[in-house]
Amino acid sequence: MTAMTVGRQVEQFRENFRIVRDEVSRIIVGNEDNIIGIMTCLLARGHVLLEGIPGIGKTKLVQTLADVLHLKFSRIQFTPDLMPGDIIGTTIVRETDTGRKLMEFQPGPIFANLVLADEINRATPKTQSALLEAMQENSVSAGGQTHPLQQPFFVLATMNPLEMEGTYPLPEAQLDRFFFKLKLSFPSAEGLSQILDRTTAQHEPKVERVFGQGEILEMRETARSVPVAKPVQDYAIRLTLATHPESELASDLTRRFVRFGASPRGTQALILGGKVRALLAERLYVAGEDIRSVALDALRHRLLLNFDAEAERVSTDAIIEDILQRVPLPSA
Amino acid sequence: MVPQGLSRGAQRLVSLCDFAAHSLATNRRRSNAGADVGYNPRMSDQEIILHTLARVRRRLQIGHVVHDATVLLWLIAVAVALWRVLRMAGGHAPALSAVAILVALLLWVGGLLVLSRRLLARRTSLARAAAEVDSRAALHDELKTAYWFIAHPIASPWNAAQLEHAACSARTLDVSRLLPMRVERGALAASALISVLLVALWLAPPLTPSSQALSEGGNALSAAEAKQVQLLRELSAQLPGDSAAAAKLEQALTTLQRKEASAEEKQRALAAARAALEQRNLDAASTREGLYQLAQQLRGNEALKDIAAALEEGDAHKAAQALQQMPDAHGGKLTATSPAAERGNEKDLARLIDQASGRSDAEPGESASVAAREAIDRLNQIAAQLDSQQQLNQASQALQQLQLAVAQRSTMSAGRFSQQAAQNSTPSPNSGQTSMPGGIMFRSAAVAQEKRASAQQEGSKTGSAMGDSQAEAPLGNRVTPLGVQLKKEAVPNPEPEDQQDAAKNWFYTESKEQKSVVELREVQARESFAQAQSGAAEGVSVRHRQIVKDYFMQLREGKP
């Protein structure tokens, strides 16, 4: 591989990314950052948690993405009575033509490339934890056997922040397994107008399947190849350490309101997300600003706030922004 | 940018074409830039990057030197301005000025130390230069990362691609535009401001006048001082027949009104005039003492009892009137001959009074009348002299006030001036002592003997404005007259030329009584010293210590 090949790879990566983004934008109005965020997670081999009020297009966004990427898509509507077996599948007894009975694993909806876990906080923790192994190990254990998941495996979970009754907040361990947590904001007046134009007409816009599994895996490899200089890596480490209240780098806000800081998965998310952002910015290296650009999405769900923060309604976003202001960019 | 609406394959083709065009443009720019800015076309990507960073570092170092020099100049300018401000404001509050100078000096030294430390500690590395270029040229950490990859080489096509891209960026950099060698606007504006401030401070008048300004300002007499001068002139005109004191006073007033005269000159002239007036006071005191002694001589004569009483009181007028009341040889009353009779001493007066009373062995009759007239004239003169002391005292007080005003304007301290002037000060009104450079002159007899305070005594009771007046004398309430303390000792002169010279051949010496008093005090002092010593921790006086010591040294066991 030569420098020219690398350049071509980067150009291809950017082009593919642009195509997906443009295609999704034909259905989804606004939310450019969230589309980029979801694609970043997909290309960084992560999973994404989408948070937003009902009706702002969380599910539509995921469905559109699945349509564009020509991947196997499954949707799991999480409810309180949903069982783990309903997600990962179950072993059933099947009788062959010869009358012989066999124990056969019947894969659940998780066996797909793109899994939409809709309203994940409505399911019980037991069911939520069924996703843990799948998300982290990309495999499912059932009936004493481990079944690998087909790549790319990408979980998009949605969560409604308004309804608290009858919901089960995600445990920290599960939250940490999400690469990014994205917040979908309410569209502007212009955005609403566009949504109405697109969804209330006789013909709704359709998307094309631009590329499939192979291109995604190729793009993932490209993203992983981007080199990171040590100072930039140190910057990501310093950002992570700054979220820990007992760290020397912790700010006053962190010491006051944070109970537990981000895990090493947070640092990984910073670097991997930074790599994708570097490629999108036509860079062959990760710059400090790439790390900064993904810091909010990568760390906001990894900080565990204390009671004071809850009482004073301090959000994790505010703390991370404070950290970003205080921790200097990578120096020479 | 790939146009919208194309099929996926067409879009991909367009993007590949774009990339190829971009690569070609980059290569072309690279070769052109290399020719323009002096890069060797054979240089590798790493060399190009390092060469660029070295150039940047050099310019950064020069920039730092310029910046530090500016800061140093600033420090100097601030120090100069501070010095000027303190010089302007100094004198109002010397302690505050000293503290301000100290603080300013410490701040300045602190600033200099910080600057020196910064100069010593700062080492502009290539990595620092890369960071600076990334920041200024918005290269998004490209050169910084490239430099790190050069320093930590990893065989990777991605690293090579990054270095190639960074080298391309480094070639296109215009370092001189990125890091221009010019003084910043802020520094220029600040320099202009400090220059204006310095000029303004230099031209501004000092808040505390200098000594020259003080002397110039002291030339102008205030209205009150002009009034004092006028009063002094009037008093000078009234001074009876004393040309020396009047001349001194006139000279002092002339000096005081002279614009070019310094405050010290004025002080000296005023002190000289005041000394002349004080001399007149001393003469008057001497006259009163003579009258007292004359009264003692005349006390034995019953006919002259009233005159003696009047003289003892120091009232020359009354004595003259009493002498006038005495009938002369022809049965008529005596009258004064002329107001301009010559002035003589008290001995002449005693002789004249004796002649007038007929006690003298001289020829009686007409000569007694003449002597009585002369005595009356002499007494009138003495009375006029003593009366004139009131004017002298007024003049002396006015002079004191003027001295005070002039001394306040002078930069010389009062004590220093007193040392320089070395003039006799006013005798203490209670003890009659006068402080002199060489000792103390006792003149207590005449003043202490007077029963009532008269206008002739006034004037000596106010302290000197110069602060050198004598405090209460440590002699107690009882004052021994001078005549008791001193006695006249004749100097043997075998061949006196005339009677007047013979009268001067004596001097004052310690009287027997005074000698015994002094010896008594010496004995008392020794006794009190011995008592003080015996009250010490050892409990044995100095006198007896040797005896006690010998006793214990010779003490043997078994022997008493």
Q: Which of A77-86, B162-171, B321-330, B504-513 has the highest mean pLDDT?
A: A77-86
Can you give the pLDDT at residue B95? 67
Q: Do A231 and B144 touch (CB under 8 A)?
A: yes
B74-116 pLDDT, tens digit each: 777 777 777 777 766 655 566 666 777 777 778 778 888 887 7
Q: Do A229 and B148 touch (CB under 8 A)?
A: yes
Of B131, B159, B164, Cβ closest to residue A227? B159
Residues 12-31 of A with CB under 8 A from B: 12, 15, 18-19, 22
Can you give the pLDDT at residue B501? 57
Residues 164-223 of A with CB under 8 A from B: 208, 210-211
Can you give the pLDDT at residue B502? 56
Q: Do B19 and A2 touch (CB under 8 A)?
A: no
**pLDDT value at B559 more than 90:** no
Residue B364 lies in a domain: yes
**Termini Cα distance of chain A:** 29
B113 and B44 assigned to the same domain: yes
Can you give the pLDDT at residue B202? 73
pLDDT confidence bin for B29, thresholds 50/70/90: very low
Of A15, A227, A230, Cβ closest to residue B15? A15
Can you give the pLDDT at residue B418? 53
Residue B77 lies in a domain: yes
Q: How far apart are CA B251 and CA B182, in angstroms?
A: 70
A229 touches chain B (CB under 8 A): yes
Last residue of a domain, one of B470, B491, B516: B470
Can you give the pLDDT at residue B148? 85
B154 and B43 assigned to the same domain: yes
Instruction: Calculate mean pLDDT across residues B215-220.
Output: 53
CB–CB of B402/B365 below 8 Å? no
B518 and B460 assigned to the same domain: no
b/e sequence B177-216, b meaning 16+ C-beta within 10 Å: eebeeeeeeebeeeeeebeebeeebeeeeeeebeeeeebe
A124-149 pLDDT, tens digit each: 888 888 887 788 888 888 777 888 88
B185 and B268 assigned to the same domain: no
Residue of A nearest to B166 (CA): A284
B550 and B433 assigned to the same domain: no
| Fold that domain A3-84+113-216 belongs to in CATH | Rossmann fold (3.40.50)
Which domain does B461 fall in, by range? 218-470
Instruction: Calculate mean pLDDT across residues A4-8.
Output: 80
Residue B482 lies in a domain: no
Can you give the pLDDT at residue B381? 79
B397 and B452 assigned to the same domain: yes
B535 and B463 assigned to the same domain: no
Which run of H or of E encompasses B529? Answer: helix B512-534
Chain B residues in contact with A226 by the CB 8 A cut-off are: 158
Last residue of a domain, one of B470, B496, B515: B470
**pLDDT value at B343 more than 50:** no
Residue B494 lies in a domain: no
Can you give the pLDDT at residue B342? 43
Give residues with Cβ within 8 angstroms of B413, minimum separation 6: none
- Give the position of tokens 């004749």: B490
Q: How far apart are CA B423 and CA B445, in angstroms?
A: 23
Give the count of domains, chain B.
3
Q: For residue B387, how many other CB atoms are within 10 A of its CB?
A: 16
Look up residue B472 and give its DSSP letter: -
Can you give the pLDDT at residue B463? 40
B1-20 pLDDT, tens digit each: 444 444 555 555 445 445 44
Residue ranges with strand state E in B188-294: none
**Domain layout of chain A by residue ranges:** 3-84+113-216, 226-326
A interface mutation test: which of B53, B57, B145, B162 has the most A CBs within 10 A?
A: B145
Can you give the pLDDT at residue B337? 44
B135 and B50 assigned to the same domain: yes
Q: Which of B102-116, B358-372, B400-414 has the highest mean pLDDT?
A: B102-116
**pLDDT value at B475 more than 80:** no
Instruction: Calculate mean pLDDT across residues A229-236.
Output: 89
CB–CB of B355/B371 below 8 Å? yes
Of B15, B141, B164, Cβ closest to residue A330? B141
pLDDT confidence bin for B359, thresholds 50/70/90: low
Instruction: Calculate mean pLDDT across residues A88-110.
Output: 85
Chain A residues in contact with B12 by the CB 8 A cut-off are: 15
Can you give the pLDDT at residue B102? 79
3-class SS at A79? coil
pLDDT confidence bin for B241, thresholds 50/70/90: low
Question: In terms of CATH architecture, what is A226-326?
Answer: Orthogonal Bundle (1.10)
Angle between helices B223-238 and B366-409 in degrees, nearest 10: 170
B87 and B128 assigned to the same domain: yes
pLDDT confidence bin for B538, thresholds 50/70/90: low
Chain A residues in contact with B146 by the CB 8 A cut-off are: 285
Can you give the pLDDT at residue B329? 43
A222-231 pLDDT, tens digit each: 889 888 888 8
Residue B22 lies in a domain: no
Q: Do A7 and B152 touch (CB under 8 A)?
A: no
Residue B484 lies in a domain: no
**pLDDT value at A186 more than 60:** yes
Chain B residues in contact with A12 by the CB 8 A cut-off are: 15
Residue of B nearest to A228 (CA): B145
Which tokens hold the place of B491? 């100097």
Instruction: Calculate mean pLDDT across residues B271-288.
Output: 77
Of A8, A281, A332, Cβ closest to residue B130? A332
Q: For residue B218, how many other CB atoms are within 10 A of its CB?
A: 23
Q: How far apart are CA A23 and CA B11, in angstroms?
A: 13
Q: How far apart are CA B438 and CA B430, in angstroms?
A: 21
Of A3, A11, A284, Cβ closest to residue B19? A11
Q: How far apart are CA B168 and CA A16, in angstroms?
A: 26
B102 and B163 assigned to the same domain: yes
B198 and B223 assigned to the same domain: no
B101 and B250 assigned to the same domain: no
Can you give the pLDDT at residue A70? 81
ipTM of the complex: 0.76
Last residue of a domain, one of B203, B237, B254: B203
Give residues with Cβ within 8 angstroms of A292, minimum separation 6: A324, A329
Residue of B nearest to A20 (CA): B8
**pLDDT value at B165 more than 90:** no
Q: How far apart are CA B466 and CA B406, in angstroms?
A: 11
Instruction: Calculate mean pLDDT across residues A61-65.
Output: 84
Instruction: Calculate mean pLDDT across residues B188-211.
Output: 70
Can you give the pLDDT at residue B91? 56
Residue B213 lies in a domain: no
Can you give the pLDDT at residue A244? 92
Chain A residues in contact with B144 by the CB 8 A cut-off are: 229, 231, 330, 332
CB–CB of B484/B515 below 8 Å? no
Residue B209 lies in a domain: no
**pLDDT value at B509 more than 60:** yes
Of A5, A208, A230, Cβ closest to residue B152? A230
Whether cis (ω within 30° of 0) applies to the bond prior to B429 is: no
**pLDDT value at A188 more than 60:** yes
Q: Do B158 and A331 touch (CB under 8 A)?
A: no
